[in-house]
Structure 1
Amino acid sequence: MAAGPDGSPGPLHDAEAVVLVGGKGMRLRPLTLSAPKPMLPTAGVPFLSHLLARIRAAGIRHVVLGTSYKAEVFAEHFGDGSEFGLELEYVVEDEPLDTAGAIRNVAHLLREKDVLVFNGDILSGLDLRSLVETHRAGAAEVTLHLVKVADPRQFGCVPTDGDGRVTAFLEKTEDPPVDQINAGCYVFRRPVIEDIPAGRRVSVERETFPGLLAAGARLQGHVDSSYWLDMGTPAAYVRGSADLVRGELPSAALPGTPGEALLLPGADVAADAVVDGGSTIGAGAVVAERARITGSMVFDGARIGAETEVDGCVIGAGARIGAGVALRGAVIGDGAVIGDECELLDGARVWPGVEIPAGGVRFSADRR
């Protein structure tokens, strides 16, 4: 990897990428009933578009997508990747293989010595070229992106020594010894991938990485403080989209100029309505007079009634929200109907096609 003119790492033309996008996204139901999590609209485009744009900006051109749930959706949208300046290939996982098993499942398509592997639901500002530079400088078998979090108790911890070498993989504990966690992005030497057992479930953190450590292999940690967010929950999904819209994490895939709101072509927002907080209003969506949309996503074709307040929510495609409604932290499925004067609080999820009658209904649970 040649250095750039300013001495920074150069383009990664001699590396390739694997993106794991096979999960069902159960924590994001009902949104993932109609699309895989990486294909959900995020700041105006499928979430995966932002990751692929970062991969391309680093100079990588060959990308393999490890798919499973609704696998056909990825190829239908991205095709062979040429429109995005990439060469995309797809491998379908017929049965769950866990993270390492899914990586091994695409090994036959890999070509380069170094392979970057991404979990397809992480939003990150990591400098990919610096990650690979750390990997090569340390002559590592695997390099892991590690991030420091305020409360590591909900994660497994990854301690490192003074040279940055990973020393252990620790399960969740109430008294974690370090605040570093696995951030879901790796650089593998290709022979390591080829040595993963084929055709069965294999966990990277419980089997592959501990096995490498036990064998004396060098696993390197790359710790940085860039933007990082696991997009697995509705609240995180909404936050990540808003951060992209506002430019807190710049993305070449953003279909517009960063700001308080992103209005897609055909969106119709009343002159006295307020849309802010990094909200996205989808194509053909309508926001009526005196409505307020804050930090939310309104998908294509949805309609928001007059004097309705939507804060930190996802409104599915074609949903109908009545007048005088208050929504906070809610997920409204495609085609659902919310009657006038309803109030849906944090955690409320309305499944596709469900109709909630008018009349001041107040709830914070699933409606199916």
Structure 2
Amino acid sequence: MSELHGVEAVVLVGGKGTRLRPLTLSAPKPMLPTAGVPFLEHLLSRIRSVGITHVVLGTSYKAEVFQDYFGDGAKLGLELEYVVEDVPLDTAGAIRNVAHKLRERDVMVFNGDILSGVDLHGIVETHRTAEADVTLHLVKVDDPRRFGCVPTDEEGRVTAFLEKTENPPTDQINAGCYVFRREVVLEIPEGRPVSVERETFPGLLERGARIQGHVDATYWLDLGTPAAFVQGSADLVRGIAPSSALPSEPGEAIVLGGAEVHEDAVLSGGTTIGANTTVAAGAVVDGSVVFDGAVIGEGAVVERTVLGAGALVQAGAVLRDAVIGDGAVIGARCELVGGARVWPDVVLPEAGVRFSADV
């Protein structure tokens, strides 16, 4: 496939990831280990795979973590630049905040917490064929009531941006990926919060600008919640979601270097076992993300759970749909279910207690 020319990328990674706490207390959401590498690395690998090499990261929360890890991007074949957002500027404001780094005619913008299989070539082709001012990736979802929806006409032009409603007129939603003509970016007001959906896009429609929709039904997932984060990581491990950044071939599990997994343990469902982790005999780990240095004891069950770095799950404990902070200790025979979250370094006693709320 030919490389895209005259296109650069902006990735918005400034959010605090509050819905993923306590995981994001120590790292920004796009830097959380996802199928063996920081989530952002999967996105950057997709950007590089279509020939885009200049990428600007719009950062804010723990901005230094991105630059410390990726540096100038040379190891990924990219030229990375960083712009820090000192105060929250919303999506369009964040895009305008990086405008001084832009130099190509077309700018592809990504929300940094979306896992997608969309054809990036296809979006740019749609944009240029339509001679659009802005092109939006629109994805069809089963239940559009949970989102604002974006109707289009017979030529694919966007006609409106609608708030959440019980009776949406279309199943198309904004998927968090856009192509802007650079001139349109420069027209966004500078130095204040600006919403793309409530201000920028409606304003463009009012003055007759062409906003085009690129509609598909490819893989798409917003990783904003613990359940979605776990699902996204598992889908990457199993090869359901596309990425060239996996540290091994897709399968039921990825086991990183230095991990010790007993031959009688069972790993399944797209599990990731972090570096220097220990999984004891009889343990079952299904569809979970286990960060570096964690320990899972004999006969423990860990399902659809995120286990933080250095956390300890003692023998016979059961974790289902849980989030365990870094360094936490889950006592023997404890049971955590139904979205329970354990904050970093909390120690739960060996009492066989059942938890279903934050601890």
Give the TM-score normalised by the residue count of structure 2: 0.99
Structure 2 partner of 1:61:
53
Question: Could you tell me which of 134, 146, 152 is aligned with 2:144?
Answer: 152
- 5+ residue gaps, structure 2: none
The residue identity in structure 2 corresponding to 1:168 is: A
3-state SS of the aligned residue for 2:213? strand
Instruction: Report how far residue 109 of structure 1 moved.
Output: 0.3
3-state SS of the aligned residue for 1:83? helix
Structure 1 partner of 2:96:
104
Structure 1 partner of 2:276:
284
Which whole-Å CA distance do the structure 1 matches of 2:123 and 2:90 have between them?
24
Question: Could you tell me which of 119, 140, 143 is aligned with 2:135?
Answer: 143
Which whole-Å CA distance do the structure 2 matches of 1:249 and 1:13 have between them?
25
Which whole-Å CA distance do the structure 2 matches of 1:192 and 1:250 have between them?
30
Backbone CA RMSD of aligned residues: 0.5
1:352 correspondence with 2:344: yes
Question: Could you tell me which of 247, 252, 255 is aligned with 1:255?
Answer: 247
The residue identity in structure 2 corresponding to 1:250 is: P
Which whole-Å CA distance do the structure 2 matches of 1:171 and 1:306 have between them?
49
| Segment of structure 1 superposing worse, 172-181 or 62-71 | 172-181
Alignment of 1:223-242 (within 5 A): 223-242=215-234
Which whole-Å CA distance do the structure 1 matches of 2:231 and 2:327 have between them?
23
Structure 2 partner of 1:166:
158
Question: Could you tell me which of 179, 189, 193 is aligned with 1:197?
Answer: 189
Instruction: Report how far residue 122 of structure 1 moved.
Output: 0.1
Alignment length, in residue pairs? Answer: 359
Question: Could you tell me which of 290, 295, 320 is aligned with 2:287?
Answer: 295
Which whole-Å CA distance do the structure 1 matches of 2:72 and 2:347 have between them?
40
- 5+ residue gaps, structure 1: 5-9
Alignment of 1:306-321 (within 5 A): 306-321=298-313
Which whole-Å CA distance do the structure 1 matches of 2:123 and 2:247 have between them?
27
3-state SS of the aligned residue for 1:310? strand
Which whole-Å CA distance do the structure 1 matches of 2:5 and 2:19 have between them?
36
Deviations 1:58-116 (A, max 9, x none): 11000000000000000000000001000000000000000000000000000000000
Which whole-Å CA distance do the structure 2 matches of 1:79 and 1:115 have between them?
22
1:83 correspondence with 2:62: no
Which whole-Å CA distance do the structure 2 matches of 1:32 and 1:249 have between them?
23
Instruction: Report how far residue 250 of structure 1 moved.
Output: 2.7
Which whole-Å CA distance do the structure 2 matches of 1:38 and 1:118 have between them?
12
The residue identity in structure 1 corresponding to 2:357 is: A
The residue identity in structure 1 corresponding to 2:348 is: I
The residue identity in structure 2 corresponding to 1:93 is: E
Instruction: Report how far residue 249 of structure 1 moved.
Output: 1.7
The residue identity in structure 1 corresponding to 2:293 is: G
State whether residues 13 and 61 of structure 1, in contact with CA within 8 Å, keep that contact through their aligned partners in structure 2.
no
Which whole-Å CA distance do the structure 2 matches of 1:256 and 1:354 have between them?
33
Structure 2 partner of 1:7:
none
Alignment of 1:304-343 (within 5 A): 304-343=296-335
Which whole-Å CA distance do the structure 2 matches of 1:282 and 1:32 have between them?
17
State whether residues 50 and 253 of structure 1, in contact with CA within 8 Å, keep that contact through their aligned partners in structure 2.
yes
Q: Which runs of 4+ in 1 moved over 2 A?
A: none
1:267 correspondence with 2:259: yes
Instruction: Report how far residue 12 of structure 1 moved.
Output: 1.0
Give the TM-score normalised by the residue count of structure 1: 0.97
State whether residues 331 and 350 of structure 1, in contact with CA within 8 Å, keep that contact through their aligned partners in structure 2.
yes
Aligned residues with identical type, % of pairs: 73
Question: Could you tell me which of 65, 69, 94 is aligned with 2:86?
Answer: 94
Instruction: Report how far residue 363 of structure 1 moved.
Output: 1.1
Instruction: Report how far residue 13 of structure 1 moved.
Output: 2.7
The residue identity in structure 2 corresponding to 1:333 is: G
Deviations 1:186-209 (A, max 9, x none): 000000000000000000000000
1:36 correspondence with 2:28: yes
Structure 2 partner of 1:217:
209
3-state SS of the aligned residue for 1:327? strand
1:133 correspondence with 2:125: yes
